[in-house]
Structure 1
Amino acid sequence: MKPGWLLPIFATVAAPAAAQDLTPAETARINAIVAQSLARTGVPSASVAIVRGGRIVFAKAYGKQSDTIPVARTDAKYPIASVSKQFTAAAALLLEDEGKLSLDDTVAKYLPGISGGDRITIRQLLSHTSGLQDYWPQDYSFAAMSNPTTPQGIIDRWAKNPLDFAPGTQWQYSNTGYVVAGMIIEKVAGMPLLDFLRARVFTPLGIAAIDQDLATGSGFPNGYHRYALGPVRVAQPAAPGWLYAAGELAMSASDLAKWDIARMNRTLLPADDWAAQETPVRLPDGSTNGYGLGVYAKEQDGHAYVEHSGEAVGFLSQNTVFPDDKAAVVVLVNGDFGDAQGKIASQIAALILPPPTTIATEATRAKQARAIFDALRTGTLDRATMTDDANYYFTPTALADYKTSLAPLGEPRSFELVRPPRLRGGFVNRNYRVTFANRAVNVVTYAEPGEHGRYEQFLIMPGE
């Protein structure tokens, strides 16, 4: 089960998605994207769910799920593997809300015998900064996985080895850390992790998740494998017990999309729990790779996104949420080779996210911003260009201060965008730098999307 795949998004800025169904042309394009990717890689099947405008607008399964499923079904449960980690993290956060544990508690408080347990915190387990050796770095089922195991068996073999680094000093993906976290959650909750999640998450959201060890046999997708470019073969599943809290869940693409909707709407969990999951951990030197608690949280080309991928024997998955756009893409495939799930997800994301703003739009926006800036230098403002909040901000006192402080600076020598626009809170943030003969100022704006969207904010601040 590998670290999350980093989604390449088209290199433009977009407005928030509208709550709309897919058009026939978009649906046809999605069908073509999936068909081409399956044909290119040889992966037998894919199940896709798409959220747009905060609701599921598309769910479809393609190809051969198994010899016992004649027609691909959208309700078929695929192992989601490491995408499960965000659910484990959510369970820990819910227990913290109840005062039953703290993410800053040490492992030793709950489990004895773990290497560095008196220094490793639950937060470090969930953020992959514990230093515990990963028990499954391979992209295949290794020899021991042909025999059943238990969480304690994994801990005894891997979590009692010397640490790979001092806790909190480095980042290294560790399935072992999640097994330890799962055992702590079960001890504190007084029930199996899956039962806790079913009661607190799955049943409220209408998600029919099961243990992936049980998602085998008639009625379930087979996993498939391929050696190099050879024939596609049925993969032998790992023996029971190997995924546990690091990746034990199986569900349909639509069920996973229900969780994504809860994330973007900040429902089910308290808002600060969602924020905690999506806050990237930072190492002592201040660096981060974007991983929070069970998810990557990043921004690319103006789009904030939260994502994780998953890998089980014979299966790969990709789950990507665009909270500001109210959109998500779930792709589950039953082949553990190629990158069908990643390619499908990235191409669908590029299709369903809102149309990008153009270079012409940015030129228009810069011209508008310069005009407003020049007006403020004279203490005037076209209030039709502002939202109600911005008009509330620009009191007579504010306008007078803008005039008296800016007018003496003279005519600007330059007015330039200092970084690419980005989405935040449903607005497009653009920052400008204005230089005068003897100093510079910064202009921080938030505007409604589109060429003529009103300004929610137009602040002028001292520059270096």
Structure 2
Amino acid sequence: MSKKKATWGLAPFFLAPLLIFAARETRSSDAAAEVAAKVKVYIKPYLDMKAFSGSILIAKKGKVILKEGYGLANYELSVPNTPQTKFHIASISKVFTAAAILMLEEKGLLAVDDPLTKYVPDYPGGEKITLHHLLVHTSGIPNINNFPEYGNWSRFPQTPASLIEKFKDRPLNFPPGTRYDYSNSNYNVLAAVIENISGRSYGEFLKENIFDPLGMQDTAHDGNPAVLIENVASGYAPAGVDGFEKAPYLDWTVKTGNGSITSTVEDLFKWDRALYADEILSSASRTKAFTPYVDDSVGYGWFISRRHNRRCIRMNGRSPGFQGEIHRYVDDGTCIVVLSNNYSGAASFMIDDIAAIAFGEPYEPLTVNKDLEIDAKVLASYLGAFQGGADFFVPNASLTLENREGRLALRWSMGGLSWLVPVSSSRFYDRTFGGLVTFGKDEGEVSHLTYRSSGRDYRANKKKM
């Protein structure tokens, strides 16, 4: 046999692995295209009623299968959202604050079981509050966001020290470690701890120790309102059935530590990948971060749960003009990020269905009919006051259903107005919080409403006149 014939005889053995690889790549590309097509159809109703504008990223096993921008980053200038658009990520910022604390612990500069007074010496009662209590919201420190003065404070520059001054002398809501109560104040305090120990500002520490090492060049602490942020989205709020209004002005330093960071879906995916290795946090620190310490769900900056019968490590955020979600299905290597510049609950409502699409599981697409005219008598039967219990979507909330020029609106006792878009004559989509409102009857009379959010139903009973 000639050398030439021998070479050609071996060719199939060399080509076979390449053909198998090519076939796998084709299948992967086809699957990604199918996911993208389904997501496009799924989000159309949200886009049509302007309940969502933002960016979405889906990745599996380290490979991005979808990244896309939807709607506008700025409605006044008609600038579209893209995967590179920066959004304020609100409470998703907490995952970076918690990581910074764990990094300082790795360096031997603190321990999470240390008392607060070790790092903020003049904090009243701080000897009974540990850093762990702050990380998992069991400190008892009241939530700064709930103070009546907060709206005024949020319009002016703040520092972690100035924020602490606003709540440190207020009584604790409960003895430290005895209860869970989500409080943004905890992470204001943790930002102060980071600054006091490191000698760097909160933003500088994150940049130098997390963002720069990971190449997260589009992520930063918004610490100076005079500084221009390139490619950042403007924030909006739902107005009416399909309109927008500008979100109120906010100096984001009021959220230092708990919600002051801007980022992109692409950068948050870089963060997701880093959490599978020792690039920023050791295996021991990652285990600490992802351990559910309270109610089998509260970790250090993250919530831990099971969704779609899979372990899900997630965080969400919502601040005026913005909302976001990051869900990490760590056993599958799947990451889903939804960031929005609309102060609507759509991102939280959508992300579970987007995960179902990614996993090839059933999901319920949203169908709305914003032009549906509800019979005046039917609409009138829905009006009035409804009362939720301790297990309601917002515990013990009172709700008032109002007729606003032939449109149904829901006013919440804690403040805020939800515009309801018809799905049918008895079911409505809440443009503000992203839930579904269904009216129920007993003996022919409207007796209650059911508020559906994140796959759960919450009942509020109608008050008798």
Normalization by structure 1: what TM-score?
0.67
Q: Which residue number corresponds to residue 72 of structure 1?
A: 81
Q: Does 1:46 align with 2:45?
A: no
User: Relative to 1, partners in 2 of residues 1:23 and 1:59: Cα closer, same or farther, differing over 3 Å?
Assistant: closer
1:85 to 79, 94, 109: 94
Unmatched 5+ residue regions in structure 1? 1-18, 283-287, 357-464
Instruction: Provide, for residues 287-327 of structure 1, a one-character-per-residue CA deviation record: whole Å limited to 9, x for no partner.
Output: x1511110001124530000111012100001110000100
| Equivalent position SS for 2:144 | coil
The Cα shift of 1:187 comes to: 1.1
**Bigger shift: 126-135 or 144-153?**
144-153
Q: Please give the alpha-carbon distance, in whole angstroms, between the structure 1 residues aligned to 2:109 and 2:178.
A: 27
Q: Does 1:263 align with 2:275?
A: yes
Q: Please give the alpha-carbon distance, in whole angstroms, between the structure 2 residues aligned to 1:297 and 1:75.
A: 28
Q: Which residue number corresponds to residue 232 of structure 1?
A: 244
Q: Which amino acid aligns with 2:183?
A: S
Q: Please give the alpha-carbon distance, in whole angstroms, between the structure 2 residues aligned to 1:336 and 1:87.
A: 22
Q: Which amino acid aligns with 2:134?
A: L
Q: Please give the alpha-carbon distance, in whole angstroms, between the structure 2 residues aligned to 1:151 and 1:290.
A: 27
Q: Please give the alpha-carbon distance, in whole angstroms, between the structure 1 residues aligned to 2:292 and 2:67.
A: 31
1:98 to 99, 107, 129: 107
1:326 to 310, 329, 333: 333
Q: Does 1:292 align with 2:302?
A: no
Q: Which residue number corresponds to residue 212 of structure 1?
A: 222
User: Relative to 1, partners in 2 of residues 1:266 and 1:114: Cα closer, same or farther, differing over 3 Å?
Assistant: same
The Cα shift of 1:44 comes to: 5.4
Contact 1:68/1:219 (<8 A) preserved = no
The Cα shift of 1:152 comes to: 1.9
Q: Which amino acid aligns with 1:149?
A: Q
Q: Which amino acid aligns with 1:348?
A: I
The 5 A counterparts of 1:434-453 are: none
Q: Which residue number corresponds to residue 313 of structure 1?
A: 320
Q: Please give the alpha-carbon distance, in whole angstroms, between the structure 1 residues aligned to 2:147 and 2:296.
A: 21
The 5 A counterparts of 1:20-419 are: 20-21=28-29, 22-40=31-49, 42-43=50-51, 45-66=53-74, 67-68=76-77, 70-137=79-146, 142-208=151-217, 209-212=219-222, 219-227=231-239, 229=241, 231-265=243-277, 267-282=279-294, 288-337=295-344, 339-353=345-359
Contact 1:115/1:161 (<8 A) preserved = no
Instruction: Provide, for residues 225-265 of structure 1, a one-character-per-residue CA deviation record: whole Å limited to 9, x for no partner.
Output: 13564731111231242111111110111101111122245
Q: Please give the alpha-carbon distance, in whole angstroms, between the structure 2 residues aligned to 1:192 and 1:132.
A: 23
Contact 1:211/1:248 (<8 A) preserved = yes
Q: Which amino acid aligns with 1:325?
A: D
Normalization by structure 2: what TM-score?
0.67
User: Relative to 1, partners in 2 of residues 1:56 and 1:212: Cα closer, same or farther, differing over 3 Å?
Assistant: farther
User: Relative to 1, partners in 2 of residues 1:149 and 1:250: Cα closer, same or farther, differing over 3 Å?
Assistant: same
User: Relative to 1, partners in 2 of residues 1:139 and 1:280: Cα closer, same or farther, differing over 3 Å?
Assistant: farther
| Equivalent position SS for 2:79 | coil
User: Relative to 1, partners in 2 of residues 1:355 and 1:347: Cα closer, same or farther, differing over 3 Å?
Assistant: closer
User: Relative to 1, partners in 2 of residues 1:352 and 1:137: Cα closer, same or farther, differing over 3 Å?
Assistant: farther
Contact 1:140/1:313 (<8 A) preserved = no
User: Relative to 1, partners in 2 of residues 1:320 and 1:257: Cα closer, same or farther, differing over 3 Å?
Assistant: same
Among all aligned residue pairs of Structure 1 and Structure 2, give the percentage whose two residues are the same amino acid.
28
Q: Please give the alpha-carbon distance, in whole angstroms, between the structure 2 residues aligned to 1:350 and 1:140.
A: 42
Q: Which amino acid aligns with 2:141?
A: L
Q: Please give the alpha-carbon distance, in whole angstroms, between the structure 2 residues aligned to 1:216 and 1:303.
A: 41
The Cα shift of 1:111 comes to: 0.8
The Cα shift of 1:101 comes to: 0.6
| Equivalent position SS for 1:293 | coil
Unmatched 5+ residue regions in structure 2? 1-26, 363-465
- Moved runs in structure 1, 4+ residues, more than 6 A? 138-141, 215-218
User: Relative to 1, partners in 2 of residues 1:289 and 1:238: Cα closer, same or farther, differing over 3 Å?
Assistant: farther
Q: Which amino acid aligns with 2:329?
A: F
Contact 1:116/1:163 (<8 A) preserved = no
Contact 2:211/2:220 (<8 A) preserved = no
The Cα shift of 1:355 comes to: 5.9
Q: Which amino acid aligns with 1:312?
A: S
User: Relative to 1, partners in 2 of residues 1:137 and 1:316: Cα closer, same or farther, differing over 3 Å?
Assistant: farther
User: Relative to 1, partners in 2 of residues 1:344 and 1:139: Cα closer, same or farther, differing over 3 Å?
Assistant: farther
Q: Please give the alpha-carbon distance, in whole angstroms, between the structure 1 residues aligned to 2:333 and 2:116.
A: 37
The Cα shift of 1:55 comes to: 2.6
Q: Please give the alpha-carbon distance, in whole angstroms, between the structure 1 residues aligned to 2:303 and 2:86.
A: 24
Instruction: Provide, for residues 189-242 of structure 1, a one-character-per-residue CA deviation record: whole Å limited to 9, x for no partner.
Output: 111122222222112221121223558677421100135647311112312421
Q: Which amino acid aligns with 2:222?
A: Q
The Cα shift of 1:80 comes to: 0.5
Contact 1:45/1:65 (<8 A) preserved = yes
Q: Please give the alpha-carbon distance, in whole angstroms, between the structure 2 residues aligned to 1:58 and 1:149.
A: 38
User: Relative to 1, partners in 2 of residues 1:321 and 1:119: Cα closer, same or farther, differing over 3 Å?
Assistant: same
Contact 2:144/2:150 (<8 A) preserved = no
Contact 1:263/1:323 (<8 A) preserved = no
User: Relative to 1, partners in 2 of residues 1:79 and 1:171: Cα closer, same or farther, differing over 3 Å?
Assistant: same
Q: Please give the alpha-carbon distance, in whole angstroms, between the structure 1 residues aligned to 2:119 and 2:303.
A: 27
Q: Which amino acid aligns with 2:347?
A: Q
User: Relative to 1, partners in 2 of residues 1:73 and 1:160: Cα closer, same or farther, differing over 3 Å?
Assistant: same
Q: Which amino acid aligns with 1:345?
A: I
